[in-house]
């Protein structure tokens, strides 16, 4: 029984270094940038977390961990650095597609969310024209 308890704790720590963290963290940042977390936005975040869930780590656990870490953090620079260090251009573009889908999830393109989307695109070294193309294609 104690062995299982410690194994679960280790599993939660694995979430910190998981690739899913980066995308989910940015998704959550965008979702709350307008001051509210809409149910459709949360649904998309959970759907993304499901892709990285396993029998030991549930999607809801991953989402809770991301929410807690985001609320404690003052910068998403570490996430941006991870992306720039490990993502290819194609993976960055796929990430922007996911982020734009989140911006439009509640059927309202909030100025704060849109600005953060373009800021992230700039920080991960994707041209604004490419970010605009993603925006146009997914509308």
DSSP code per residue over 79-123 = HHHHHHHH--HHHHHHHHHHHHHHHTTTS---HHHHHHHHHHHHH
Is 70 exceeded by the pLDDT of residue 6? Answer: no
Asked if CATH classification 1.10.10.10 holds for the domain at 9-138, the reply, yes or no, is no
For residue 96, pLDDT beyond 50: yes
- The answer to whether 37 touches 31, Cβ cutoff 8 Å, is yes
Q: Which whole number is the average pLDDT over 7-28?
A: 57
Of residues 137 and 138, which shows the higher confidence score?
Answer: 137
**What was the pLDDT predicted at 54?**
78
pLDDT tens digits, one per residue of 29-59: 898 888 888 899 989 988 888 887 777 788 8
């Amino acid at each position: 029984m104690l062995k299982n308890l410690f194994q679960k704790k280790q599993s939660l720590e694995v979430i910190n270094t998981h690739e899913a963290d980066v995308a989910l963290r940015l998704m959550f940042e965008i979702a709350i940038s307008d001051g509210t977390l809409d149910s459709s936005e949360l649904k998309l975040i959970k759907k993304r977390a499901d892709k990285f869930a396993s029998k030991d780590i549930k999607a809801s656990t991953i989402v809770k961990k991301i929410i807690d870490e985001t609320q404690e953090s003052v910068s998403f620079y570490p996430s941006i650095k991870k992306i720039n260090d490990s993502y290819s251009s194609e993976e960055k573009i796929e990430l922007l597609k996911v982020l734009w889908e989140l911006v439009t999830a509640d059927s309202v393109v909030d100025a704060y969310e849109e600005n953060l989307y373009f800021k992230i695109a700039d920080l991960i070294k994707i041209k604004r024209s490419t970010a605009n193309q993603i925006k146009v294609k997914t509308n």
